[in-house]
Amino acid sequence: MLGEHRTSPASASVAVQARSQLLWILLQRMVRRFAVEECVRRTRRLDVLINCAAAAPAEAFLEMTAEAWELALRVNVRAVALAMAAAAREMTRNGGGRIVYVTSAAARMALPHYAAYAATKAAVDSLTRSAAVALAKQGIRVNSISPGMMDTPLQVRTEETFCRLEGRSDLERFRAERTARIPLDRRTTPEEMAEAVVWLAADAPDYMTAERLNVSGGLDKD
């Protein structure tokens, strides 16, 4: 038909992705703003932010997908960075506060099937240092904690994928071999992580900032 405008499938796909990206950005801004505002409304102030986010796509190195990287970057890097900034603005008005990032031993390990996750947790380490310097004069201390292997649902799903990608069939043996790499010869628990997080948030020396606290049973030795 003369004058009819036809949109190619590729153009339509790009348009859909662009709209999705815009909606995601708007949603994240709303969540960050309302989360901080709701916290202040309920407690009258914001003193501590625990920045714990994890999207952990596991895939074969040569079969990495843009979708997996986009998810990991959005959740593990952009979301935690912007949440930190939103919280820090409120803490600055109060004269200070504490921010604790949850990073991972994966940031310092060679994990071919976990490339996106490991890279984003390395970014969290960098964000910790940058934020600590940027916010020091505002009385805000920024540190991170690096947990070791811990049998969360996410960890279990990840190891199931690792096992499959490595062509292994005995999941329990595979998990036991991974546990054997830990010098303390066991996995950590959520309760142990909680103790460390509370210490950083409340009892750690005020002179401590830009630090990475390893609670990995010796797995992360740097």
* 116 contacts 68 by C-beta, under 8 angstroms: yes
* Alpha-helix runs per DSSP H in the chain: 9-43, 66-73, 80-94, 115-135, 153-165, 171-179, 190-198
> Letter for the amino acid at 178?
R
**Each residue's pLDDT tens digit, 133-159:** 999 999 999 999 999 999 999 999 999
Active site residues: 117
Confidence of residue 30 (pLDDT cuts 50, 70, 90): low
Of the chain, the percentage scoring pLDDT greater than 70 comes to: 84
Distance between CA atoms of 40 and 202, rounded to whole angstroms? 19
Exposed, middle or buried, 90 (CB in 10 Å: 0-12/13-18/19+)?
middle
pLDDT at 37: 82
Mean pLDDT of 28-51: 79
Confidence of residue 33 (pLDDT cuts 50, 70, 90): low
**Topology, domain 46-215:** Rossmann fold (3.40.50)
Q: Where are the domains of the chain?
A: 10-44, 46-215
Mean pLDDT of 106-123: 96
| Count of beta carbons in the 10 Å neighbourhood of residue 61 | 11
Exposed, middle or buried, 80 (CB in 10 Å: 0-12/13-18/19+)?
buried
- Whether the pLDDT of residue 22 is over 70: the answer is no
Mean pLDDT of 97-104: 96
* 48 contacts 201 by C-beta, under 8 angstroms: yes
**Each residue's pLDDT tens digit, 118-139:** 999 999 999 999 999 999 999 9
CA distances from 149 to 23, 58, 69, 82, 194 (A): 35, 16, 22, 27, 14
Phi, psi of 142 (to 5 degrees): -125, 120
97 vs 19, higher pLDDT:
97
pLDDT at 105: 94
Distance between CA atoms of 22 and 110, rounded to whole angstroms? 34
pLDDT at 53: 81
Distance between CA atoms of 25 and 32, rounded to whole angstroms? 11
* 56 contacts 107 by C-beta, under 8 angstroms: no
23 vs 160, higher pLDDT:
160
> Average pLDDT over the chain, rounded to whole?
87
Confidence of residue 44 (pLDDT cuts 50, 70, 90): confident
DSSP 41-101: HHHS---EEEE---------GGG--HHHHHHHHIIIIIIHHHHHHHHHHHHHHHT-EEEEE
